[in-house]
């Protein structure tokens, strides 16, 4: 039988379920399991979760639908999509591809750490892990980073339905089940309720600019927004799909998994008397100590790190896919060649980022930031919010809400009750909210306040 990938060079999802699993696979990743719990831990717990939920509701869903509809309408990846809609906006797609490229370079280094932790928990030596010594090494972390990129290469090279969709359909349901198992274990520990309270009871007095900024950046990162990733995934959707349903489903799942991850990690941290504001080390330093004190700790550690690995992998393939789609759509490269080329260059930059934590830690790219942090900061805190803000401006003010809504309703054949609300959110609320947070984060808001 002829596969869908053969019919068009670009490929296509085989079903709505396939798209949802792939999009959820992209969104659910290290952002949920690694970043969300530690950000919540160091930004006041419930207060952070509260702000996060509001931003998902107002900005997250809005931009998700915006990206998916642009992709489905143009049937092209980030760069091609903007180019087709308005030649003058092509660079915005380019900015997205650049962001994806930068994110994957450090993301895949962390992906390598996760594989290392998985191996350690199978072999029962997780307790001996010295995280600091491991990640500052020059050989081992780069080797694991290479393994992680190779697995990405194999999946992305296999194409949309045969590679990305198939991998996501297996890994995502497994991930849901594994999350529940580890969460039950964690919630039944003595003293777990302290962690639950910490995560769910908001203390509004701790909400300030930095909490809001952390939450906004995290919404973009976790929902894979702001760089055309969902444009690219949307471009493999058929014209008869219901965009509203799909773009409600995956942010809901992503948010649910972030909360479940918080309910898995923080109760365990509290039960064993660790500090929730440990920061990035929460997953790699605190958690292994927690597992080592738990009955059957190695077993749960193995399930847990396998889950983290699945999540990281299905996200990384979406980042690689954005850069590959660029070469396929714009330069007519075949998928094999494009995937090889991108994997190789990303491997090299990632290797530099990894060395930047060790022997190259004296090299700073952005002031005071090593290579790894510079990549993360430039992409996550600047390019993603900027890309999301400009996309909402593009849809709301240039391409036009009428065109957008015609696409969402499949030329008026599907109902879209919330069209006016969505239009208001994407035209006014999203760009203004992002701009304010962005100006605040770069310190520009203070400069402007002084001017007036």
Query: Could you tell me how many residues of this chain bind ligand TRP (CB under 6 A)?
Result: 16
Interface with ligand TRP (CB under 6 A), residue from 5, 20, 24, 27: 27
| Binding of residue 385 to ligand TRP (CB under 6 A) | no
Q: List Cα–Cα distances, 163 to 10, 39, 235, 236, in angstroms.
A: 13, 32, 16, 13
Residue whose CB is less far from ligand TRP, 217 or 431: 217
Residue whose CB is less far from ligand TRP, 199 or 229: 229
Collapsing DSSP states into helix, strand and coil, what is residue 356? coil
Which of 399, 397, 391 lies closest to 434, judged by CA? Answer: 391
Phi first, then psi: give them for residue 24, nearest 5 degrees.
-65, -35
Interface with ligand TRP (CB under 6 A), residue from 4, 214, 229, 375: 229
Q: Which stretch binds ligand TRP (CB under 6 A): 23-31, 139-147, 232-240, 288-296?
A: 23-31
Contact 233, 318 (CB under 8 A): yes
Residue for token pair 């999802």: 13
| Binding of residue 31 to ligand TRP (CB under 6 A) | yes
x/- contact string, 303-342, with ligand TRP (CB under 6 A)? ------------x--xx-----------------------
| Binding of residue 232 to ligand TRP (CB under 6 A) | no
| Binding of residue 235 to ligand TRP (CB under 6 A) | no
Residues 6+ apart with CB under 8 A from 122: 302
Q: Find the DSSP H helices in 201-296.
A: 209-222, 229-234, 243-271, 281, 287-292
Interface with ligand TRP (CB under 6 A), residue from 51, 103, 157, 158: 103
Task: Tell me how far apart the alpha carbons of residues 90 and 76 are, in angstroms, rounded to a whole number.
Answer: 12
Q: How far apart are CB 408 and ligand TRP at their closest, in Å?
A: 22
Residue whose CB is less far from ligand TRP, 303 or 379: 379
Interface with ligand TRP (CB under 6 A), residue from 56, 135, 227, 261: 227
Task: Tell me how far apart the alpha carbons of residues 80 and 329 are, in angstroms, rounded to a whole number.
Answer: 7
| Binding of residue 97 to ligand TRP (CB under 6 A) | no
Collapsing DSSP states into helix, strand and coil, what is residue 14? coil
| Binding of residue 222 to ligand TRP (CB under 6 A) | yes
Which of 72, 69, 80 lies closest to 332, judged by CA? Answer: 80
Residue whose CB is less far from ligand TRP, 192 or 259: 259
Long-range contacts of 128-133 (CB under 8 A, 24+ apart): 129/284, 129/288, 131/281, 131/284, 131/285
Q: How far apart are CB 282 and ligand TRP at their closest, in Å?
A: 15
| Binding of residue 32 to ligand TRP (CB under 6 A) | yes
Q: How far apart are CB 226 and ligand TRP at their closest, in Å?
A: 6
Q: Which stretch binds ligand TRP (CB under 6 A): 130-138, 223-231, 353-361, 432-440?
A: 223-231
Distance linking the first and last C-alpha atoms of the chain: 68
Question: What are the structure tokens assigned to 171, written together?
Answer: 């890994």
Residues making contact with ligand TRP (CB under 6 A): 26-27, 29-32, 103, 221-222, 224, 227, 229, 315, 318-319, 384
């Amino acid at each position: 039988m002829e596969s869908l990938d053969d019919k068009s060079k670009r490929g296509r999802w085989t079903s709505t379920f396939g798209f949802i699993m792939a999009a959820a696979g992209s969104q659910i990743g290290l952002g949920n399991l690694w970043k969300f719990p530690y950000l919540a831990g160091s930004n006041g717990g419930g207060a952070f979760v509260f702000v996060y939920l509001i931003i998902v509701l107002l900005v997250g869903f809005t931009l998700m639908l915006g990206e998916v509809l642009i992709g489905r309408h143009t049937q092209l990846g980030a760069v091609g999509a903007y180019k087709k809609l308005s030649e003058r906006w092509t660079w915005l797609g380019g900015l997205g591809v650049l962001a994806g490229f930068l994110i994957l370079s450090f993301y895949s280094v962390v992906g390598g750490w996760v594989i290392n932790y998985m191996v350690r928990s199978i072999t029962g030596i997780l307790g001996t892990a010295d995280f600091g010594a491991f990640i500052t090494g020059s050989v081992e972390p780069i080797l694991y980073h290479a393994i992680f990129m190779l697995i990405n290469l194999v999946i992305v090279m296999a194409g949309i339905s045969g590679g990305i969709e198939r991998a996501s359909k297996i890994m995502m349901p497994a991930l849901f089940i594994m999350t529940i198992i580890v969460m039950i274990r964690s919630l039944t520990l003595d003293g777990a309720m302290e962690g639950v309270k910490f995560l769910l009871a908001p203390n509004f007095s701790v909400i300030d600019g930095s909490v809001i900024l952390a939450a906004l950046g995290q919404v973009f990162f976790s929902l894979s927004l702001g760089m055309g990733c969902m444009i690219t995934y949307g471009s493999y959707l058929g014209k008869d799909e219901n965009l509203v349903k799909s773009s409600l489903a995956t942010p809901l799942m992503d948010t649910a998994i972030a909360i479940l991850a918080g309910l898995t990690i923080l109760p365990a941290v509290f039960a064993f008397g660790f500090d929730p504001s440990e920061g990035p080390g929460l997953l790699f330093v605190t958690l292994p100590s927690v597992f080592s004190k738990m009955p059957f700790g190695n077993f749960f550690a193995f399930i847990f790190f396998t889950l983290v690995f699945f999540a990281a992998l299905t996200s990384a393939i979406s980042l690689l896919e954005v850069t590959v789609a660029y070469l396929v759509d714009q330069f007519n490269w075949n998928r094999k060649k494009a995937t090889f080329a991108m994997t190789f260059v990303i491997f090299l930059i990632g290797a530099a980022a990894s060395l930047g934590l060790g022997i190259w830690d004296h090299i700073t790219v952005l002031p005071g930031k090593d290579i790894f942090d510079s990549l993360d900061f430039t992409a996550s805190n600047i390019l993603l919010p900027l890309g999301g803000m400009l996309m909402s401006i593009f849809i709301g003010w240039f391409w036009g809400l009428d065109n957008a809504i015609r696409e969402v309703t499949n030329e008026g054949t599907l109902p879209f009750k919330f069209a006016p609300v969505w239009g208001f959110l994407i035209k006014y609320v999203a760009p203004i909210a992002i701009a304010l947070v962005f100006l605040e984060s770069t310190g520009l808001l203070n400069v402007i306040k002084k001017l007036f």
